[in-house]
Structure 1
């Protein structure tokens, strides 16, 4: 009887750890959208003026649009983290993020769009419950986005170590270990980026902030894949 109780307790503990890790992973994934929404709230006047200059829509219309973009990202993130309406939350964030990029010409770059697609694919992993297609899409986009040219050390690590770990996850070799090492490297890089960030250069700071939150979201996607994968086999 005691053995059965211990087994039940062990299963319950594993289930609780899995639930907590999955929730934490969802929070990390939506963090980039929450950061953007908070940025809009913090620099609301500036964002309103930029949108008005880009679209010539008037300050009132620009303010309404900026508010809707921020609210959409807030609500979508809350729906995903709490699992109330994951599909609706994913749709809101997808629409808000793409509109946010569309109305801001400074973000019109292939690199920035690939980063957005990378995070959106992580949301699809959540929505589709870690099915093979979104998982492979997320990992392939992560592989494409694994680059850093700011410092030689991270350039080498991203070019060889991180891409190798993504390859291991794709082919199903030591997925938990590979994902854990990759999350560790991304975390160290995020800390390193924050330490050496020059906040006096606003454009550089914004770019660095986008890269920072992108890496946080990717780390969340990796954690979510590992936690919710039932079988650790090859993705192909």
Structure 2
């Protein structure tokens, strides 16, 4: 039995082609810029069996054509490893492409899950322990375990990194990020995501203090400049 926050049936930005996106409930990270604090609590969400979820997916199979499929996102899918593994196995039994959208921090079983994963969309929060902790509220040990599993199995990767003014928008940092990305084996694509304030209202509704209250969205020209550094 899994805990699901929500489902998007025809997603266009969560991997190749048209995707059936499952947003998992539960996450141990408390990222400064998280825009889905309603996914944190593992006790929240709706319960569903993997078999019932795959039935829902199969209705949309005609839309996937040759390059679409299923994306598991969150929250953090790796917080429910048994359910995720069961669901991905069912996806592969039904010849469905699988994408894992993750921060690489869960409850283990990584290699087994990755055997049934076609593409990993990995969110790199930061590249050193101190800054990673400042952003997420925990150390990098679990992320490194996941990174090692991805490299060991030579999994295809799309890497994402959120650029926050005053936190991760330093040019020197982006240069170091570029070098860090080279320590992964099979990177197909790298994307810098501009920080935005779209989730702020959720914090007010949930009465959670928002730590980046005075930070504005990232300037487009700054993002362009940092992308050029990344591509050098």
What band does the TM-score fall into relative to the shorter chain?
under 0.3
Larger Rg over CA atoms: 1
Between Structure 1 and Structure 2, which shows a larger proportion of helix residues? 1
Higher relative contact order at CA 8 Å, sep ≥6: structure 1 or structure 2?
1
Between Structure 1 and Structure 2, which shows a larger proportion of strand residues? 2
TM-score w.r.t. length of structure 2:
0.26
